[in-house]
Amino acid sequence: MKIITIVLVFTGLVFSHAAVAIEKMYGVVSAGYTDLEYSNTEEEAFGYKLILGHEFHRQWYVEAGFIQFADIETESDFSKLELQANGLYLGVVGKASHAVGELFYRIGAVNIDVQALEASTDGQCKFGTAAGSLNGQTLCQYDEGIAVGIVGLGFDYYVATKTFVRLEAEYLRGKDGFDTSLISLGIRYNFN
């Protein structure tokens, strides 16, 4: 379902660019691996990003978008975990152009909403409230908003007139021990 949504959004952006094109704007759809740490949880998951950007100077972009870091639901005989982490992103991107593409670095902020149901090993909830028990372990449920800083480095490889393949690595750190790395591969499309 998520892949279908990503493909539909990207297709809509590609075919509607003439109607909504603003000078020096682009869109990015990318997906990759995320390593998320928060509270008592350390998880590896699939993540994706939808970003719109605008070149406001020949070496600078401003970007805004949506990032999903994790959507996990696991259950075993001894534990249960549900974790969803999504965020709204705003940042600036500096670039260095080359004949085959653009090297870029990113600095920004993300407002992440973390919703989780996790088992506590010591019976105490570090975040949220107790929502029951499973096999003698306390289940803690929380919905936290977290301010996070982001730094990243990547390369947009030129493949067609308006299309780039984007490879990037990012590191995010924020309040209450939120810590994650994201490596992604995607498509960048310049609208004009």
Q: How many residues does the chain have?
A: 192
**For 134-183, what is each residue's pLDDT tens digit?**
676 777 777 888 999 999 999 999 999 899 999 999 999 998 788 999 99
Joined together, the tokens standing for residue 113 give 């909403």
**pLDDT at residue number 110:** 94
**For 79-137, what is each residue's pLDDT tens digit?**
556 788 899 999 999 999 888 999 999 999 999 998 877 777 677 776 667 777 767 67
**pLDDT at residue number 80:** 56
CA pair distance 146, 39, nearest whole angstrom: 12
Instruction: Indicate if the pLDDT at residue 6 is higher than 70.
Output: no
Joined together, the tokens standing for residue 24 give 């020096």
* Identity of the residue numbered 22: I
**pLDDT at residue number 7:** 55
Instruction: Indicate if the pLDDT at residue 3 is higher than 70.
Output: no
What domains, with CATH codes, occur in the chain? 2-190 (2.40.160.20)
CA pair distance 162, 141, nearest whole angstrom: 45
**pLDDT at residue number 179:** 92
pTM of the model as a whole: 0.77
Instruction: Indicate if the pLDDT at residue 52 is higher than 70.
Output: yes
Q: What is the mean pLDDT of residues 21-30?
A: 86
Phi-psi region of 5 (alpha: psi -120 to 50; beta: other; left: phi over 0): alpha
